[in-house]
Structure 1
């Protein structure tokens, strides 16, 4: 929203939430078209897109978060105002008492001095009480804003995650791959290899055709679970689309890169599924891999094209294998 100069409103947040989630292609296409033409999306166009593709349920979370946030901010501002008024009153009492004491010249003016001390004591106690009350309200406001932040973080995680596999989704990949390439290019020294690994499940269409789409989903879940067990802590994995996946990771050597990819490939090849009601027939699962090593100042589009080309070669050379994209 900041990039395209769109204010952070509930409607804009809902639109971009659904855009990143990628479950409404028509919304993505229309928003892309508007951004390409105007380099932004006006409030009127945003409202039109929302009314066309979304509904009030999509807006509910962001409306609720927005209202709670601004309500909390308003309350903090009010509490600050009250605290400042008490502070001003206490300051006035201090100044008045100081002036009164400066005017005392008679050593026997005990009652006048005691009066000043009593007023200062009372004001000091009142100020301490107000300070404690203000501290309590600030703590409450802090917890409110912290909860709202966590709610937005959860919604962002949902927006970035593919619900079937639990991997990052395509929208998240499109954002991250640019950053992945940029950060590597900005390094002064390249002591490791930045790599994009693309792989997809071999003959996936046959699972759907022979067993039904539910079995296809089961295959995706099995593969996802197996890959999660083997993934490096520094690596990120995405469901690129359908049965195709991407991993971005760093390796010390080409041998390490190949060993990692082959580790995953061999583990996937151990998987198999059965048709419901058929205990004898098993269908093996396998995957083909295309690897592309990032070269400095290469953009994400080129890196994806190279990895995809290597994946295509792996498919044409018999599947269930790994190919490395040649430098071009």
Structure 2
């Protein structure tokens, strides 16, 4: 592996490696990152061949298998490379801090020279002081030129550091976004929901969003197991994607949508009233009800898609777990009352 590559190149490899880990349901660990980094680099054909074989058989790579591939194909030189990249990033930041501090000290020195020269000029008032004045101006000119040269050099260093850190920041941003998204539907995943719902409840209690209602909506696809049993799991995945697209179109930037697990989804947001929350859910429910799925080999064999919704209104300063419990209870009511409907949870 070429140890002369830049942080920018490493960031580009990061952008390619992380989505592959997420696609194949592999956690973003140092070992998994190392083998996928080598994979996208393409410098180790044997590693690529073995990893391709594992993925084709299992559509993922277990932690044990990843460790075996790592031990077999990642040598000491490559381990040193990954360590070096980490050290180079921290070194870039430290160097920028040093250059900034050095520049500040240089500026202070220049400022001191200006003040000293100003004081000196005040004392040189007689006509016989021309030589001393010229000497002072000459010294100031030299120091001013030196200061300009130093400033240009520092500006170049800052630009280089900025570009490298910007590339890495963008890669890490893409990484975090990819980790937070469900690979099948593109919605936020359960892990992101578990983190966000706590913050959602805290913000709703402290800020109150100008009197709006903090709402958690839970819904799932009716009789989803039948789609898998009768049409196959690929069609089941297609159903999830179709529903997720309807959800994306409905929430836009106003609300946040999550795949809670399996065929169950969640939406969080603020509404003006209970009627607004009900209207939103019914509009999404009717939009989903227009969807159908067909068998590839039998176009006449189709089935409508529908979903049941549960709405929970957050009470001030209540815990997130209670809000989830209320929404789940409302969803259960919608399913027991006939499905393809919306129910609101009563206060507990």
In which range does the TM-score fall when normalised by the shorter chain? 0.7 to 0.9
1:37 is aligned to none
Aligned residues: 284
Question: Cα offset for 1:140?
Answer: 3.2
141, 146, 153: which one pairs with 1:126?
A: 146
Question: Cα offset for 1:125?
Answer: 1.0
1:204 is aligned to 224
Deviations 1:245-298 (A, max 9, x none): 001122222221111101111111110111122111112111111111111122
Give unmatched runs, 5+ long, in structure 1.
1-16, 28-50
RMSD: 3.5
1:7 is aligned to none
2: distance between equivalents of 1:77 and 1:244? Answer: 49
Is this contact kept in 1: 2:209–2:270, CA < 8 A? no
1:290 aligns with 2:272: no
2: distance between equivalents of 1:264 and 1:64? Answer: 51
1:159 aligns with 2:179: yes
1: distance between equivalents of 2:226 and 2:263? Answer: 12
- Secondary structure, aligned partner of 2:218: strand
- Secondary structure, aligned partner of 1:165: coil
1:76 is aligned to 96
Task: Report which stretch shifted further, 121-130 or 78-87.
Answer: 78-87
So what's the TM-score if we normalise by structure 1?
0.74
Is this contact kept in 2: 1:65–1:148, CA < 8 A? no
So what's the TM-score if we normalise by structure 2?
0.70
270, 289, 296: which one pairs with 2:290?
A: 270
1:223 is aligned to 243
Is this contact kept in 1: 2:218–2:331, CA < 8 A? yes
1:185 is aligned to 205
1: distance between equivalents of 2:178 and 2:234? Answer: 22
- Secondary structure, aligned partner of 1:240: strand
| C-alpha distance 114-177 of structure 1, shift in aligned 2 (>3 A) | same
1:137 is aligned to 157
Question: Cα offset for 1:144?
Answer: 3.1
1:248-327 equivalence runs, <5 A: 248-327=268-347
1:234 is aligned to 254
2: distance between equivalents of 1:318 and 1:270? Answer: 18
1: distance between equivalents of 2:120 and 2:203? Answer: 67
2: distance between equivalents of 1:145 and 1:200? Answer: 42
2: distance between equivalents of 1:98 and 1:302? Answer: 71
Question: Cα offset for 1:63?
Answer: 6.6
Task: Report which stretch shifted further, 127-136 or 198-207.
Answer: 127-136
| C-alpha distance 284-102 of structure 1, shift in aligned 2 (>3 A) | closer
Question: Cα offset for 1:209?
Answer: 1.5
| C-alpha distance 126-187 of structure 1, shift in aligned 2 (>3 A) | closer
Question: Cα offset for 1:150?
Answer: 2.4
1: distance between equivalents of 2:303 and 2:84? Answer: 48
| C-alpha distance 80-104 of structure 1, shift in aligned 2 (>3 A) | same
2: distance between equivalents of 1:188 and 1:88? Answer: 49
1: distance between equivalents of 2:321 and 2:65? Answer: 29
Question: Cα offset for 1:224?
Answer: 0.7
Question: Cα offset for 1:88?
Answer: 6.4
- Secondary structure, aligned partner of 1:326: coil
Deviations 1:60-80 (A, max 9, x none): 9x9787445312212213423
1: distance between equivalents of 2:146 and 2:162? Answer: 24
- Secondary structure, aligned partner of 2:219: strand
